[in-house]
Amino acid sequence: MYREPGNLRVAAAPSRDPLHKKASALQPAIALRRFSPCIPRALVIAASTGGPQALALVLAELAPSLANLPVLIVLHLPADFTKLVTTNIARLTKLPTRAARHGEPALPGHIYFAPGDTHMRVLKIGDAPILVHADGPPENFCKPAADVLFRSAAQTFGVGALALVLTGMGSDGSIGSRAVVEAGGSVIAQDESSSVVWGMPGSVVNAGLASAVLPLDRMAGAVQGLLRGAPPGGGR
């Protein structure tokens, strides 16, 4: 279990109401884990309600830094909307972006979405990470489910896995985030004030699995720092 006391830091929980600046002192502290000492080799992202807009903002800023790692995304949307989202992300990032094809390699500098109504896993076959469709039952009432992707990324990339848990309802991504940190990887969660719904990131934060809790407009910068070997100071 990757939960030694030395791997935990503490940050104040964000206040929902900016008019009550003293409220943060009354809120419970958030336990933050230390970041992996390794430069990320894969970026996995979970998002749901508010996810298309959040992904557009983060990935557009992050795109110039993604040449050396693949980006794998689970977004809770009906299958009919996947093409619209991937087309928009491709336009904003100028990077190859599409719904993952079964059996294709996860290439650096490419962005892959789990197809609607299908789980996506990433497996190491030989020396290459391979994307695989998985037609199992829903998890957390979700298909695709971020937990499925995150668990496989933890097994495949270990300390090189970096997960982002963005705005969304429910708790999908929490179990998978535990697998990521137990494998030595890192998780960054979106903060409550910038989330449309703080269900998914909140479940990760409340479980003590995040290394940083950040507003949406700071997430790309934090990832860029990690890719340079310079972890952020721990969020809020």
110 as an active site residue: the answer is no
* Residue 196: how many other CB atoms lie within 10 Å: 17
Q: State the catalytic residue, choosing from 76, 152, 186, 194.
A: 76
Q: State the catalytic residue, choosing from 147, 171, 172, 186.
A: 172
Tokens, residue 220? 């790309």
36 as an active site residue: the answer is no
User: Do 54 and 171 meet the contact criterion of CB atoms below 8 Å apart?
Assistant: no
User: Do 106 and 129 meet the contact criterion of CB atoms below 8 Å apart?
Assistant: yes
Is it true that the peptide bond before 144 is cis, omega within 30 degrees of 0?
yes
In order of 15, 19, 39, the CA distances from 48 in angstroms are 22, 29, 27
172 as an active site residue: the answer is yes
Q: State the catalytic residue, choosing from 15, 36, 48, 174.
A: 48
Tell me the C-alpha distance between 84 and 72, whole Å: 17
Q: Catalytic site residues?
A: 48, 76, 172
